[in-house]
Structure formats: C-alpha cells, structure tokens
Amino acid sequence: MSVFPAVITDSSDVSAWLLLIDAVERLSGARSLEDVIDVVRRAARSISRADGATFVLRDNGLCHYVDEDAIGPLWKGQKFPMSACISGWAMLNRQTAVIPDIYLDPRIPHDAYRPTFVKSLVMVPVGAAAPVAAIGIYWATEHRLGEEEVARLESLARATSTAIANVALKDSLSQAAETAQAQAGEIRALLDKTVSETAHRLKVEEQLRHSQKMEAIGNLTGGLAHDFNNLLAIITGNLDMLNELPQASAEVRELTRDALDAALRGAELTRSLLAFARRQPLAPRRIGINAVITSVVRLLQRSLGEAIELELRLAPNLWPVLADPAQLESAIANLANNARDAMPKGGRIVIATCNAHLDADYASMHVDVIPGPYVAVEFSDSGTGMAPEVASRIFEPFFTTKSEGKGTGLGLAMVFGFMRQSGGHINVYSEPGRGTTFRLYLPRAVAEGEALEQSAAAVQPLRGAGEVVLVVDDNDAVRQTAVRQLRSLGYRVVEAMTAAAAMEILLNGEVALLFTDIVLRDGMGGVELARQATARWPMLRVLLTSGYSEMQLDDGAEPPPGARLLSKPYRLDDLMRAVREALDA
C-alpha cells in the first residue's frame, strides 16, 4: 500500500498556507485601511475554516469592532473598554489568546457572548511592540487549534501590521503632495522629498514582500521536511535492525547498507530544507570568525583547485560573535563551492572581515536587520556574475541556474537560513561578467559566555541494563520502530499513543526514561507531558524527539531542566547514545 498520503497528511494545510501567501500579497498592495480590513476579515476566516472573523481597532482606551465576516451578527460597530473584552486583553498583553471553550475562561465576558453563536475563539494582536488592532476568529462548536493554525494567524497579523504602517505612510505622502501644490514656493523641495520617500517605500515594500514570501515558503518547507523525517525514521530504524540480525546473509547486509546510504542522503536533503526554514539545531557559542575562516580555508584550498586563487583579508581585533562554528564553516564552504562553479576557467576569491555598525537607516531598508554592532564577512569572486532577476531568487530553496545533476539549489538557501536563525543578515551584489559579492553580518556577542572555541567531551555510547523506557508517539509505525530498537539495545519498553495514556503508565513508578515525540495530535503535546511528568516524578529522565530538528514548544512552554532532543531520522547508534546520555545525566 502506498505511503504517499502519510507524507501529505492534509491537503487543506497546504491550501491554508497558499491562502495566507495570497493574503500577504494582497495586503502589500492595499491602498487604504478599509482595503486592509476587508482583506484580513475574509482571509482570517478562510485560512482558519472558521464560522466568523472580526477586525478590532484600538481606539484610545476602547476596542472598536470595525468589521466582521460571520454566519451570524457579532459586534460590528460597537465599542467596549479594553479591560472588558478579550481583544483588549490580547492587545494589552501582546499575546495571542487561544480559547477552546469561552465559558470556561475567566477572561471572557460571558453575558456579551451568550446572544452569539460563539463557542471557541482565538484573538491575535496586530503589532508586536505596541498593538494597534486585533484579529478575532470564532467557531460555533468547540475547536482546538493546532500549532500550525496559530502560526498562520500570527503570520497574517504580522503582515497586517506591515500593511497598516504602509497605508499610514501612503497617507502621509498624499498629504505631502497636497501641501506641495498649495505652497508653490516650496513645491520643488517637497516633490524631491516625496520622490525620495516613495522610492524608499517601494524598496521597503519589495523587501517586505520577499521576506513574507520566504517566511511562508519556510513554514511549508519545514512542515514537509518534518513529515519526510518521520518516514525516514521508520526506514533507517528498520534497516538498522535488519542489518543487525545474526541470520542476515552478506548479500542482505550489502543491500541494507545501500538502502541506508540512500535514506541518509534523503535525511541530508531534509536537513537542508530545515536549515532554510530556520528549524535546524544550532549549538551557538562565542567564537572568533577569523579563526573559523582560517580553519575552513585550509580544506577549501584543496577542493577549489590550482586554477582559483584564494586571498584572505582578515581584520585584527574582531569582536566575538555568538554562532554555531560548524554551521558557519558550512556556510563559507557553500559560498566557496558556488564561487568555484561560477569560475569554470579559474579566477580569484577574496574573503575579508571587519567590525561594522548597521545603523537605523540601513535597517529601515532591510526588514530583517536590527541596528547595532556586527562582524562582517565579505566573500567576493571574479566569476560570471548574475542578472538582477537571478540574484533576487538565489536564496530560494531548489532555485538553481546550474545544469541538471550539477546541484540541488539548497546550498545558498542553507546559508540564508543559518544567518537568519543566528540573528544575522546576508545580502548579495552581482552584475553579469563582473563577479559576485556576498556580505554576511553576524551580531556582536556582548554577553559573558564560554571561552572561544570550547570543545565538548565525547560520550561513550553504552547499551541498556534493563531500564524501563516509555515511548510516546501518535505515529504507529514510528513508535513500533523505536520500541523494537530500544528492546534490541537491552531496555524494557512500554508504549503509549497519547499523553493521557502515558501518564497512566507512569503511575506504576517503574519508568526511568520518558522518550516522547514533541508533536502529539490528540490533546497534550510532548513538552507539556514532560513538564507534568517530571514535576510529579523528579527522578524521571526525558528524551524528546521531533522531525523538526528543534524544540517546537507547546504554547510557549519550556522543556523541563535536563531534557534532551534527538532529531528524526536517527540511526540505531544515535538512539543508543542519546538514551544512555539522558539516563546518566
């Protein structure tokens, strides 16, 4: 039977992301606040498959329910004190309110809701620092939102905040133009200012559209990579078990090794996708960029060949940065490989470093930049260069100008994802026939941290000695594979599909390690399960696992102290080492 439906679990999720992308594009073209409100109220309801949606504006100390799209009347045109409604709570606390049952939540004014159809709701503030509005979504029956549904609504809220700011800027430009006509003596100066501001606005809008597009693609890509990692976990786990069977012939072992190699190449592809989606695991520490570059260049010189000259211009007294040195080395190597392919007949690569300060003017033109001190790495080549339409897309996953079989189109996407995940920024300048320059900016490390280039001691992997491990995963195939692997390693294993079932098993007091997937679709998630379990049984050890390669936390919950993460897909040796380390911690 085909496993394809297990990969695309619900086409409606993909449809919802596509609806979000469409809404973001329409918001970027909105010309008035009324246009923004009309797009948002319709998009919020369709993206969430809800029974109603409202748009609420902050009006001094009041919440003004400006417009709605619902199966029944709500509060259109009415105003309420911010302290007396859930939209006010969301704006004052700058938090999304997710309420499966409004009559069980003390923040809800029940009398105001009884005449309506509303049973469940979510209220999302618009504007991170100082919310100016809120988006309300309602259901007539009890509805529990998943993490991706909340993420989509919060992405819509961020795009709405940007659109409102753009509308305000457009209004101010329009007023400036009217004043210029009225004041003939100053019309030249005002027109020059308007042209400059319009050019700035257009560039900012283009940056915003690109950033929002990359975010939406990243969310979709990360979700698909998670599903593939679940499948690869089953494949690699069972192949490892097959390879360990004493009755396996040499031919069977050779076949399983080939299959494992292919599965691991698939895992590398999903890691690349997770890197672009900013969901790869990082191990940041205080490092010196010059030392990292010097180390990786020794390896690069051999792979680049004699036809390419490599020059270093490393500034002294560089500030330290907080970054993952292995991922920084990978980023430099990806840029070098890209430059090599752009210089088939040889050429020159220059890598330069310096301290830099990105000011507010620069940040206003680049939406992902926070003003402040950075360490800059400039990577230049004398290759063929790129046209503007190519340069604008080079960080998108799977985009490549190379011939078939000469690359996956993921190298520069990985660099982009690493820089964004590290709080940094990357830009590119290129012209056809004049080479390409990448500039990477990593924020200066200002907090006290560990010594530069500190290395971790290796941990000797050991087998089990009969300890009881509880495996929790709502995917039957993934769970059964983990159970078989752990039993082969010498552990006693019990299993559960849900957090509630796991809590029942924990009551017997025999479990030494809780091994749970982070995303459990029936009620409580893995992180909250771990928190509740360790609060009740402090000696319980926790090992979390996820196809996302990072801690996708339940409603912002922090994992319990000492909890570890094992990313899917994992090999038998990886599982053996992670379980032993968790138990011995």
CATH of residue 579: 3.40.50.2300
The verdict on residue 175 lying in a domain is yes
The parent domain of residue 137 ranges over 4-182
Q: Are residues 558 and 474 in the same domain?
A: yes
User: How many Cβ atoms are within 10 Å of 368's Cβ, its own excluded?
Assistant: 15
Beta-bridge mates of residue 97: 123
Clarify whether residues 233 and 297 are in a common domain.
Answer: no
Tokens representing residue 326 in the block:
């292995």
- Name, in order, each residue with C-beta under 8 angstroms of 560's C-beta and a sequence gap of 6 or more: 530, 531, 534, 535, 542
Domain shared by 112 and 144, yes or no = yes
The answer to whether position 453 is within a domain reads no
Reported as a single tens digit per residue, the pLDDT across 199-244 is: 666 555 555 555 555 555 555 555 555 566 666 667 777 777 777 7
* Domain match, 293 and 339 both: yes
pLDDT at 147: 86
Predicted confidence band of residue 128 (pLDDT cuts 50, 70, 90)? confident
β 468-472/120-126 pair status: unpaired
- Same domain, residue pair 403 and 476: no
Q: 292 and 268: one domain?
A: no
CB-based burial label for 449 (10 Å; 0-12, 13-18, 19+): middle
- Of 245-259, 323-337, 542-556, the range with the lowest mean pLDDT is 542-556
Distance between CA atoms of 293 and 285, rounded to whole angstroms? Answer: 16
Paired strand residues for 347: 308
| pLDDT for 457 beyond 60 | no
The pLDDT tens digits for 155-212 are: 999 999 888 888 877 766 666 556 656 655 566 666 666 666 666 665 555 555 555 5
Count H helices and E strands in the chain, helices first: 17, 18
147 in any annotated domain? yes
Say if CB 68 and CB 121 are below 8 A apart. Answer: no
% the chain with pLDDT above 90: 22
User: Which phi and psi (to 5°) does residue 352 adopt?
Assistant: -125, 150
In 3D space, the residue among 154, 136, 165, 162 whose CA is nearest the CA of residue 78 turns out to be: 136
Which alpha helices (DSSP H) does 425-475 contain, by range? none
User: Which of 325, 288, 261 lies closest to 452, judged by CA?
Assistant: 288
Question: Is-contact 554 528, C-beta < 8 A?
Answer: yes
Residues paired with 428 in a beta bridge: 438
Residue 551 has pLDDT above 60, yes or no: no
Residues 176 and 243 in one domain: no
- CA end-to-end span of the chain: 42
Give a yes or no: residue 529 inside a domain: yes
Report pLDDT digits (tens) over 84-108.
Answer: 999 999 999 999 999 999 999 999 9
Cβ 87 vs Cβ 113: under 8 Å:
no
CA geometry: angle 300, 325, 375, nearest 5 deg: 95
Residue 329 has pLDDT above 80, yes or no: yes
Query: Is 213 a domain residue?
Result: no
The count of domains in the chain is: 4
Q: Are residues 347 and 484 in the same domain?
A: no
433 and 516, same structural domain?
Answer: no
Same domain, 382 and 270: no
Mean pLDDT value across residues 369-381: 91
Residue 464, CA atoms < 13 Å, CB-side half-sphere: 23
